[in-house]
Structure 1
């Protein structure tokens, strides 16, 4: 029988460099202070009960 096909080549990708890391600059930029929240008004709203029409039908 014929020999099986050769396997595909293995590609090794190096994403993380090995060895000592290079010194990188650190940029620090502070966020602005948040705006103050408005004080709560503590308003209680009472609504009248809505008129209801009850119809009962028994058969």
Structure 2
């Protein structure tokens, strides 16, 4: 496996159908924060959701 593949995390911020989303590579779709989809967000909201999800994944 390449170093790049190992460096990829579970989540990434990308554009969605409307606005921005946090994409979950394991689910192959928008991430879930509690019971809400991390989709149709502003860039700032998506960055904050990404930070929260990434910190939770590291724990």
TM-score category of the 2 structures, normalised to the smaller one: under 0.3
Which one has a larger percent helix, Structure 1 or Structure 2?
A: 2
More strand by proportion, 1 or 2? Answer: 2
Normalising by the residue count of structure 2, what TM-score does the alignment of the two structures yield?
0.13
Larger Rg: 1
